[in-house]
Amino acid sequence: MKKENREFDFGSSNIILYLWQWRKVFIIVGTAAVVLSAVFSAPWFITPKYKSTVIMFPTSTNSISKSLIATNVSGRQDVLEFGEETQAEQMLQILNSSKIKEQVIEMYDLANHYEIDENSKYRQTRLYREFDSNISFRRTEYMAVQITVLDKDPQIAADIANTISDLFDTVKNEMQRERAMEAFAIVEDEYNNLLAEMKWKEDSLEALRKLGIFDYELQVESYSELYATALSKGSMQGANAIKKELDKLAEYGGTYHSIKEGLVNDRKHFVQLNEKYKEAKIDAEKSLPHKFIVDRAYKAEKKSYPIRWLIVVVSTFASLILATLAVISYDTLLASNDILKKKKEDKSAGK
């Protein structure tokens, strides 16, 4: 073990001594790397950018009616409940949509702000690439969603981040309202048809009442008793009058009974349909925020990009490694040339 340690120390010492011989080269390369990396990471070469972020949680509810006016307690959703993984993924998908991207580009005139030439052949592609490089979205470990915006203007960075968080509600509401309006149109059509059907049945019953038919079952029972009594007393005139009423009941009574039963069923159906109508109307016309804002973006006081000290350190370290490899390669090449030269001399001497 002692022998191995001595050999290792000796080898390490040789390496250090070997590198020390080239110290001037390393000092020149290191100094040049520090100066050049500091210069080329300066603001006049790399435009500094400021970062602003918004952190928000999605809500767990989509339907206002189910959250606020649903009569079924088991199906009611808590309007104050935070969303989970599914809602966070949906939020990310909407934030990455072209609808939000196009609105932000238009609102802040990002093509000119990013100094993209209007006559550029791939102007739109460059604009979208620049947008994606400066604006990003990610899900945090706590199921929140973070919006991050980098920009050379700290105020614009904060404004864009806050605008995107606001546009999320706008875009999601538009998507849901489009479907909710179609659903409401279906329910409204059924609602109006049922109202018209009930009105027709009520008008029909009113017409039958004018003919003297008020309660078919009770009237048949009463007239039957009166008819039997009149016949037993031998009052044919009274019996004939009652017979006419019974004939009228026989002619219209079935219709009256059918319409009345249908109206009762329609009213029961109307109670249920009326609830659906109110829910569909609220979903189509009203909206609630789909997010909880944890932190809104604010104007950054110092730049976030580039990190000059990190650039200088990495550049200097990389330059020294390359210089070491170059020195070793140079010495190896010289050594190879010396060996070849010696072999040639040995051959000449042998001859």
Residues 153 and 74 grouped into a single domain: yes
Whether residues 155 and 260 share a domain: the answer is: no
Residue pair 68/328 in contact (Cβ under 8 Å)? The answer is: no
Q: Kindly tell me if the per-residue pLDDT of 103 is higher than 70.
A: yes
Same domain, residue pair 124 and 101: yes
**121 lies in a domain?**
yes
Does residue 158 share a domain with residue 59?
A: yes
| Domain-embedded: residue 6 | no
Give residue 305's pLDDT.
66
In this prediction, residue 59 carries a pLDDT of: 86
What's residue 39's pLDDT? 75
Domain extent at residue 202: 184-285
pLDDT in tens, 53-70: 999 999 877 666 666 555
* CATH code of the domain containing 91: 3.30.70.1130
Is 347 part of a structural domain of the chain?
Answer: no
The residue from 233, 264, 285 where one domain ends is: 285
Q: Please indicate, yes or no, whether residues 95 and 225 belong to a single structural domain of this protein.
A: no
Q: In a 3-state reduction of DSSP, which class is residue 14? A: helix
Residue 10: band (very low, low, confident or very high) from pLDDT cuts 50, 70, 90: very low
Cis peptide before 58 (omega within 30 of 0): no
Question: Does residue 120 have a pLDDT over 90?
Answer: no
Last residue of a domain, one of 285, 308, 335: 285
pLDDT of residue 9: 44
In a domain, 235, yes or no: yes
pLDDT, position 107:
94
- Dump pLDDT digits (tens) for 158-175: 999 999 999 999 999 888
- Asked if 291 and 155 sit in the same domain, the reply is yes
> Distance between CA 42 and CA 23 in Å, rounded?
28
- 305 assigned to some structural domain: no
What pLDDT does 8 receive?
39
Q: pLDDT (tens digit, 9 = 90+) per residue, 141-163?
A: 888 999 999 999 999 999 999 99
pLDDT above 60: residue 76: no
Say which residue, 205 or 7, is predicted with more confidence: 205
Residue 255 placed within a domain: yes
Return the sign of the alpha-carbon dihedral for residues 6, 10, 12, 16: positive
CA torsion sign, 121 to 124 to 128 to 134?
Answer: positive
The CA distance from 205 to 120, in Å, is 77
Number of domains in the chain: 2
**Amino acid type, 299:** K
In a domain, 37, yes or no: no
Structure confidence at residue 255 (pLDDT): 78
pLDDT tens profile 235-263: 666 666 667 766 676 667 777 778 888 88
Residue 225 has pLDDT above 80, yes or no: no
Query: In degrees to the nearest 10, what's the CA dihedral of 260, 262, 267, 273?
Result: -170
Whether residues 143 and 208 share a domain: the answer is no
Say yes or no: 123 and 206 in one domain: no
Residue 19 lies in a domain: no
**Statement to judge: residues 162 and 85 lie in one domain:** yes
Q: Is the same domain home to 113 and 208?
A: no
Same domain, 153 and 291: yes
What does the pLDDT average to over 92-102? 93
Give mean pLDDT, residues 225-231: 66
Domain boundary among 285, 303, 324: 285
CB-based contacts of 152, cutoff 8 Å, min separation 6: 47, 48, 49, 50
Say whether both 193 and 159 belong to one domain.
no
